[in-house]
């Protein structure tokens, strides 16, 4: 489902609290400012939502660690779906805390947090920020790898942040343009870049702080080959091993170091690609079977069962919910 950009009127604190708590489950809002005012622009594209928020000083707390993230309006879409949240600071400051870390975001900094665990955001003064909500399934990282990069600032002037931050700044400045047919593809592409940045942070963090194994060169070559060949129905551990000139046993070892199997990774990536295509309004004319076949899966019954297991609903139900 795609909705137009909704711009709210100026809200006082009680109105803002009502708006926020209706959209995002399990949070509490407080403010030291007696004359608090806030505005927001909201865009809903498929299973992704963007909020461009201009507010006075306030604090948002999420103490309920059993909550699963935002409840997507209308009708509670997304209830029960683990969600990640990306915050890009555009003006002012934000202090984000999650997973035992606290970071301060300045204009041009972004950071990830998740609705599955406790977090807090403190805005000490007037500020503007872009918040992007998207399914946890968009990020192909283990839970411990995500936990290693939450509340970790990605700056516009350092490393891969030089690529990622400008993309999200452009999204914030062009919400109206994203209503078109290509908006969802642009957002998904930006999130794919974010995943690359987070994977880089997770790998470097793992090698310097956790002592856990970081993805090997073989593992990275393997996943790159898999991602580029999802359409091949013959894709298997054997074909991947032959491409990389390693034994199947060795390939399995590299994946086991990341608590993965080759087959499960192939399956997950195919389902993720199908999930993304089903959400694309430009592909509404294609059948579920045609989309699945494009990503190497031809058994409709198997696809439906695997998709339901991964996302909690059938491909048809998911598509109907988004595009109704």
The Cα 133–Cα 85 span in angstroms is 5
Residues 6+ apart with CB under 8 A from 24: 69, 70, 71, 115
CB 94 within 8 A of CB 121: yes
CB 56 within 8 A of CB 16: no
CB 88 within 8 A of CB 168: yes
Spell out the long-range contacts of 171-178 with Cβ–Cβ below 8 A and sequence spacing 24 or more. Answer: 171/50, 171/130, 171/132, 172/50, 172/52, 172/88, 172/90, 172/130, 175/5, 175/41, 175/43, 175/50, 175/52, 176/5, 178/5, 178/43, 178/45, 178/50
Region of 202 on the Ramachandran plot (φ > 0 left; ψ -120 to 50 alpha; else beta): alpha
**The domain over range 217-323 is classified in CATH as 2.40.50.320:** no
**Can you list the alpha helix ranges (DSSP code H) found in 206-280?**
217-228, 237-244, 248-256, 262-279
Is the bond preceding 102 in cis, omega lying within 30 degrees of 0? no
Query: What pLDDT shows up at residue 120?
Result: 93
pLDDT in tens, the chain (324 residues): 555 555 666 889 999 998 888 877 778 899 988 899 999 998 888 888 999 999 999 999 987 544 444 444 433 334 467 889 999 999 999 999 998 899 999 999 999 999 888 999 999 999 999 999 998 888 877 788 888 889 999 988 888 788 889 989 988 888 888 876 677 778 888 888 888 788 777 766 543 333 334 456 788 788 888 988 999 999 999 999 998 888 899 899 888 887 889 999 899 899 988 998 898 888 888 999 999 999 999 999 999 999 998 888 999 999 988 876
Task: Write out the two tokens for 87.
Answer: 């915050």
Give the single-character DSSP code of 11: B
Query: What pLDDT shows up at residue 144?
Result: 81
Query: What pLDDT shows up at residue 69?
Result: 42
> Rounded to whole angstroms, what are the CA distances from 284 to 182, 190, 230, 308, 310?
13, 22, 21, 20, 21
The Cα 102–Cα 81 span in angstroms is 26
The Cα 183–Cα 293 span in angstroms is 25
Domains 6-207 and 217-323 share a fold: no
Query: What pLDDT shows up at residue 74?
Result: 36
pTM: 0.62
Q: Where are the domains of the chain?
A: 6-207, 217-323
Query: What pLDDT shows up at residue 80?
Result: 61
CATH number of 6-207: 2.60.120.10
DSSP symbols for 54-82: EE-SEEEEE--TT--SB-BTTTTBTTT--
The Cα 191–Cα 172 span in angstroms is 14
Other C-beta atoms within 10 Å of 117: how many? 16
CB 124 within 8 A of CB 57: yes
Residues 6+ apart with CB under 8 A from 15: none
């Amino acid at each position: 489902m795609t909705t137009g950009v909704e711009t709210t009127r100026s809200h006082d604190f009680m109105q803002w609290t009502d708006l926020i708590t209706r959209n995002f489950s399990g949070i509490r809002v407080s403010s030291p400012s007696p004359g608090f005012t806030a505005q927001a622009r909201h865009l809903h594209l498929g299973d992704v939502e963007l909020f461009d928020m201009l507010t006075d000083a306030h604090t948002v707390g999420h103490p309920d660690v059993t909550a699963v993230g935002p409840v997507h309006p209308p009708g509670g879409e997304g209830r029960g779906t683990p969600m990640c949240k990306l915050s890009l600071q555009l003006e002012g400051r934000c202090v984000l805390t999650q997973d035992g870390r606290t970071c301060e975001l300045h204009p041009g900094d972004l950071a990830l947090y998740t609705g599955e665990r406790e977090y807090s955001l403190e805005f000490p003064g007037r500020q503007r920020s872009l918040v992007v909500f998207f399914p946890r399934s968009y990020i192909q990282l283990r839970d411990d790898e995500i936990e290693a990069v939450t509340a970790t600032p990605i700056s516009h002037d350092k490393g891969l942040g030089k690529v990622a931050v400008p993309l999200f700044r452009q999204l914030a400045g062009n919400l109206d343009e994203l209503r078109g047919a290509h908006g969802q593809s642009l957002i998904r592409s930006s999130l794919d870049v974010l995943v690359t940045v987070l994977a880089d942070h997770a790998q470097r963090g793992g090698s310097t702080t956790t002592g856990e194994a970081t993805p090997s060169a073989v593992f990275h070559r393997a996943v790159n080959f898999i991602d580029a060949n999802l359409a091949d129905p013959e894709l298997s551990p054997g074909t991947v091993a032959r491409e990389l000139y390693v034994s199947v046993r060795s390939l399995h070892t590299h994946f086991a170091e990341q608590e993965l199997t080759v087959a499960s990774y192939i399956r997950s990536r195919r389902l993720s690609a199908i999930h993304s295509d089903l959400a694309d309004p430009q592909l509404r004319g294609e059948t579920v079977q045609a989309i699945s076949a494009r990503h190497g899966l031809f058994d409709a019954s198997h696809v439906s069962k695997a998709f339901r297991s991964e996302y909690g609903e059938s491909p048809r139900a998911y598509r109907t919910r988004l595009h109704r």
